[in-house]
Structure 1
């Protein structure tokens, strides 16, 4: 196993951290504030992953309404929602081992840079990453593929065979595939079997993820 040239891109929400309680709370608060119809629980469970303004538009809001709702969401999330997150068991220890073994670690999350850093620092993970790949807070970089490109450009990564994406949603799988990067789908997040079927690998525990990473490297 040669790890010096191997880079791991980690999604945040649903992969490293269970952010759903806070996302759900702030999402529902926003819909109540905007007098918008509350969707089914099944639909609410799909909220983590894509940019929040995309979700608001998917619920029928115009682009302007979605941006207004996003501001309400971010204000509430900044006061309440972000702090309701919990780290998934074993993930920080796994990051420590991977870093010690020589893997380059970067994030690739659709969460905005400010809250991504805040959440990672809460769980003492931030300093384990070489680069924080996240959505831009000004909205110019929002999609998963745009975030991955941002990481590749800033870290100087060129060979997709030396890069592995780890995430839980179709956005992770499809976004990495645009660059020829294989993806590991983790089943403890917010995706479903239909989404995971497109991934090169699927794992259900941190221990299994570690084995897959070592086999890949």
Structure 2
């Protein structure tokens, strides 16, 4: 039975890639351009199936260790020209952020993406969180989540679940990225939604004291 105690306005953290935005088309285009620029083949179609971890982890599949730092710098420099305009918001992204605002809360973005490029995506799409913190992955995300007193963290990857748990925040996972619902539950997600279109209803239930939100909204 749900509690009758209404929770205060929450601070909600959101991951970026494959949570708020479908970054696959833009990242694919950037990897193709990187291949052309460097002469080193990157399987762009494969790379976009495993988004989430830091860029350097993906580059390690294709470049020798001594070249990774410089190649990452080059990729990030090229990224705005190839990736930003090609990247759409995922269904429900704007509505999810707005739902937090309508509840009187704060919406922040905590992402492993290079922070200046993360901000370019959000500005291009007209999504305006209260704060954007980049360059953090998995448990490292807990630093920003704790700093901003986040009650909830929403992400698509098992690394996001780990970050939420490390911060003591409720982990709301969306099965819109490379990890399916079963993987997300196994990693310890408190709630698994199909995508962000279900988030406003979940948040309403959470505010009313239901620990997991409406049962029908869970994937």
Which category of TM-score, normalised to the shorter sequence, fits these structures? 0.7 to 0.9
2:57 to 54, 57, 77: 54
1:214 to 199, 204, 211: 204
CA distances 1:192-211 after superposition (whole Å, capped 9, x unpaired): 34532222211114342222
User: Is 1:3–2:8 an aligned residue pair?
Assistant: yes
Within 5 Å, which residues of 2 pair with 1:1-217? 1-4=6-9, 6-39=10-43, 41=45, 43-57=46-60, 59=61, 61-126=63-128, 129-135=129-135, 142-153=136-147, 155=148, 157=149, 163-197=151-185, 198=187, 199-217=189-207
CA distances 1:129-168 after superposition (whole Å, capped 9, x unpaired): 2221222xxxxxx424324303422x3x2xxxx6111011
Aligned-pair CA distance for 1:103: 1.9
The size of the alignment, in residue pairs, is 200
- Structure 1 stretches of 5 or more lacking a match? 136-141
Distance in 2 (CA, whole Å) between partners of 1:22 and 1:61 is: 21
- Structure 2 stretches of 5 or more lacking a match? 1-5, 208-219
Aligned-pair CA distance for 1:25: 1.4
- Partner of 1:83: helix, strand, or coil? coil
Distance in 1 (CA, whole Å) between partners of 2:42 and 2:130 is: 40
Task: Give the alignment's TM-score, normalised by structure 2.
Answer: 0.80
Aligned-pair CA distance for 1:182: 2.5
Distance in 2 (CA, whole Å) between partners of 1:82 and 1:148 is: 27
Aligned-pair CA distance for 1:86: 0.3
The change in CA–CA distance for 1:19 and 1:207 in structure 2 (over 3 A counts) is: closer
Does 109-118 or 90-99 show the bigger shift?
90-99
Distance in 1 (CA, whole Å) between partners of 2:122 and 2:44 is: 30
